[in-house]
Structure 1
Amino acid sequence: MGNYLLIPIAFVALIILFKFFFIVKQQTAVVVERFGRFQSIRNSGLQMKIPLVDRIAGRLSLKIQQLDVIVETKTLDDVFVKLKVSVQYVVIREKVYEAFYKLEYPHDQITSYVFDVVRAEVPKMKLDDVFVKKDDIAIAVKSELQDAMLEYGYDIIKTLVTDIDPDAQVKAAMNRINASEREKIAAQFEGDAQRILIVEKAKAEAESKRLQGQGIADQRREIARGLEESVEVLNKVGINSQEASALIVVTQHYDTLQAIGEETDTNLILLPNSPQAGSDMLNNMVASFTASNQIGEAMKRKQNEKDSGTTE
């Protein structure tokens, strides 16, 4: 029977032995109280306490933690906007006592300070400035939290404004404004491109006209030079300038007829086109030149007589 009693005694002893020891994980601090009063802070490793006398009051993580706070406020231009502020904080290893006993709900305390700072800073800014100066808002939140939470054993590592969400109607209006601006810029680029095309086309046409005019001028210059040479040759054989000019015109007339005859599909008709047309043209031109010379000589004599009478 004595052996049967040893088994429960050993079991109870084993349980009491386990109650003497406990394990603290890495990056964790354990607060131990004795009869309800703070006794010590235990760090990672195998730790010992007195059963029924000491108890584990709580455990605090020494890792960096993050709290996301969403704040709704109004900007200077009366736009309601939601800001998501991410606060990264950590319990100071040397101030575990303050973090455990002085502040019961650290998340609520941090949230309150974030609300206070954001609602004090954002109403001073317009909506566009909130997007541009979000880092300034984050710095202001960290500065306020750092001063307040240090007393309670918390260190603020970093604060970030991770999201800015205006009212849905405001976002729709901003999208329309952005789309209008982009359409305006696109229209300006298209207008510039069209203007460049028109200018370049006009330049090309002007250059084409210039070259065409230069070609015509060169052509006429060569024709005139050829006519001059032809007249000189005819003069050498006793044909005066008037007769030579008429002969050249008649020759060109027949050359034109020959060129028209070579075109099989042409509808062009050159008038007059009778067999004696060339002879008539030559006689008419010679007669016209003769009459012109006579009129010119008569006018010259009349002018000379007038000048002589004026002199006397």
Structure 2
Amino acid sequence: MNPTVYIIVGLAVLFVAAAIFIVKQQTAAVIETFGRFSSIRQSGFQMKIPGVQRIAGRLSLKIQQLDVIVETKTLDDVFVKLKVSVQFKVIKDKVYDAFYKLDYPHDQITSYVFDVVRAEVPKMKLDDVFVKKDDVAIAVKTELNDAMLNYGYDIIKTLVTDIDPDAQVKAAMNRINAADREKTAAQYEGDAARILIVEKAKAEAESKRLQGQGIADQRREIARGLEESVEVLNKVGINSQEASALIVVTQHYDTLQSIGQETNSNLILLPNSPQAGSQMLNDMVASFTASNQIGEAMKNSKKKKDE
């Protein structure tokens, strides 16, 4: 075969290879003819005229994210850093504007973010910045949409993802929060201690009441027993005074017996002679008699004064 044919075939293959190009999914290619805009090619198999047309550039149609950190001052003179995340994409029908009208979209977006944040945050106090961070994000999105739409960019969403006050301010805020929590804990501990004291006092009062009731019941039963004992002794011809003496002496010796049964007891009962019970009874009777006489004398004296 003639070598010229090989050359022609080779040139044809090179021409076809140079004419064919592939555009990826979610990508747009800008074609220029002799340096002048010609067309925009979407994803798929595409062709151009080698030497006449060229791919001036490719733009991604995917959603992109740009993180911008802005340092500014709040209304209460606190320096704070805000991280603003901007999600944006090239509008499919405005690839020409996005490619030819704006060289550095990231720088343009960053400038607008700085401008809006530094206009909005100084109107708020630090606590309000945390509470109203969504308002700041909405203000940024509104400003960017109005500006970037002319350049073929659509602002999908803006988010204030981080608020970082000055280190000294953060330390002070942490101390305030810690002090507030300690105050709350102390209040709870005080309430718990007060409740414990009240409940303990109630328990002690109830215990004393029950103890007093028990003692009263015990004495009532003792009195009833003594009364029955005196009645039994009266039936056999023993008068009340003799019966009382007998009961006192009997209880006296019962007490001595119970003390003697305790091996480790150091208690000594005085007096412990056989006449002790009778002497105690005589003393009691004498005291009751004297008390009655004093009472009668006071009543008589009062009557004379009234007359």
Q: Same fold (TM over 0.5)?
A: yes
* TM-superposition CA deviations, 1:194-217 (whole Å, max 9, x none): 222222222211111111111111
Q: How does 1:32-71 map to 2 (within 5 A)?
A: 32-71=31-70
Aligned-partner Cα distance in 1 for 2:287–2:66: 116
Q: Unaligned stretches of 5+ in structure 2? A: none
Shift of 1:258: 0.9
Shift in CA distance, 178/258, structure 1 to aligned 2, threshold 3 Å: same
Q: Distance in 2 between matches of 1:307 and 1:178?
A: 79
SS in 2 for 1:104: coil
CA distance in 1, matches of 2:268, 2:125: 83
**Which amino acid in 1 is paired with 2:96?**
Y
> 1:298 offset after TM fit, Å?
10
Alignment root-mean-square deviation, CA: 2.8
Matching residue of 1:177: 176
Please tell me whether residue 110 in structure 1 is matched to residue 106 in structure 2.
no
CA distance in 2, matches of 1:301, 1:50: 147
Q: How does 1:162-241 map to 2 (within 5 A)?
A: 162-241=161-240
Structure 1 residues 208 and 9, CA, compared in 2 at 3 Å: closer, same or farther?
same
Over 3 Å counting, the alpha-carbon distance change for 1:226 and 1:208 in structure 2 is same
Paired with 1:89 and 1:207, the residues of 2 have a C-alpha distance of 76
Instruction: Determine what percentage of the aligned residue pairs are the same residue.
Output: 75
Instruction: Give the match for residue 135 of structure 1.
Output: 134
Structure 1 contact 243–286 (Cα < 8 Å) conserved: no
Superimposed CA distance per residue, residues 132-191 of structure 1 (whole angstroms, 9 cap, x where no aligned partner): 111111111111111111111111111111111111111222222222222222222222
The unaligned stretches of length 5 or more in structure 1 are: none
User: Could you say which residue in structure 2 is the equivalent of 1:93?
Assistant: 92
Q: Specify the alignment match of 1:26 in structure 2.
A: 25
Amino acid corresponding to residue 109 of structure 2 in structure 1: I
Q: Cα distance 1:83–1:225, how it changes in 2: closer, same or farther (>3 A)?
A: same
Per the alignment, residue 150 of structure 1 pairs with 149
* Structure 1 residue 126, shift from structure 2 partner: 1.4
Q: 1:54 to 1:247 in 2, by over 3 A?
A: same
Secondary structure of 2:2 counterpart: helix
Give, in angstroms, the shift of residue 244 of structure 1. 2.2
Name 2:275's counterpart in structure 1.
277
Query: CA, structure 1 residues 188+23, in 2 after alignment: closer, same or farther (shift >3 Å)?
Result: same
Is 1:62–1:93's contact at 8 Å kept on the other side of the alignment? Answer: yes
Conserved? CA contact 1:242–1:286, under 8 Å: no
Q: 1:305 to 1:115 in 2, by over 3 A?
A: closer
State the distance in 2 between where 1:71 and 1:298 align.
101
Counterpart residue number, 2:285: 289
- 2-structure distance, mates of 1:260, 1:163: 84
**Cα distance in structure 2, aligned partners of 1:302 and 1:114:** 105
Counterparts of 1:16 and 1:237, CA distance in 2: 152
1: CA distance between counterparts of 2:36 and 2:255? 130
Q: Mean alpha-carbon deviation: is it higher for 162-171 or for 180-189?
A: 180-189
CA shift at 1:86, angstroms?
0.6
